[in-house]
Amino acid sequence: METDFKTIDQYIAMQPERNIVPLEKIRQTIRKAAPDAEETISYQMPAFTYHGILVYFAGFKNHIGLYALPTGNTAFQKELEIYKTGKGSIQFPLDKPIPYELIRKIVKFRIKENEKEMLRKLTLANERKQKKQS
């Protein structure tokens, strides 16, 4: 299988047939939740960025992986307890319905996190600038 993907379209096209529909639905779910986010490939996985990485996702033989960074998993710990999770990963088994609404909520949470972090950095930069000017 190709391992040097340039676009999410290329990534999804190279997946086994059973992964294509759920991956495309996850992609569309993320797009709707984060219309200002940009699609990219990072670590050879589809990813969406908005003031930094929002989420990654990837297809595997028996599951779809969603990588919402550790904070995304922590914030939705109760909803995720029925899935296999790691520090920042979630496995959605392909033989069960994919929780698209939960994915939407996680993405919305990550948007707020990234916006808050961007504002924090801007505030720090402005404070430094003001100190230099005084």
- What the chain holds in terms of domains, given with CATH numbers, is 8-133 (3.90.1150.200)
Q: Which of 58-62, 114-118, 122-126 has the lowest mean pLDDT?
A: 122-126
**pLDDT (0 to 100) of residue 62:** 96
Q: Is the pLDDT of residue 133 over 90?
A: no
Q: Using 50, 70 and 90 to split pLDDT, how confident is the model at 70? A: confident
pLDDT digits (tens, 9 = 90+) for 101-117: 999 999 999 999 999 99
Could you tell me which residues are beta bridge partners of residue 85? 90
Q: Where is pLDDT greater, at 3 or 37?
A: 37
- Indicate the angle between helix axes 17-33 and 100-133, nearest 10 degrees: 50
pLDDT digits (tens, 9 = 90+) for 26-56: 999 999 999 999 999 999 999 999 999 999 9
End-to-end CA distance of the chain: 59
Name residues whose C-beta falls within 8 Å of residue 31's C-beta, 6 or more positions apart in sequence: 37, 48
CA 1 to chain centre: 23
**pLDDT over 70, % of the chain:** 98
**pLDDT (0 to 100) of residue 127:** 86
**pLDDT (0 to 100) of residue 131:** 82
Q: Which two tokens stand for residue 49?
A: 């960025």
In 3-state terms, what secondary structure has residue 56?
A: strand
Q: By CB neighbour count within 10 A (0-12 exposed, 13-18 middle, 19+ buried), where does 75 fall?
A: middle
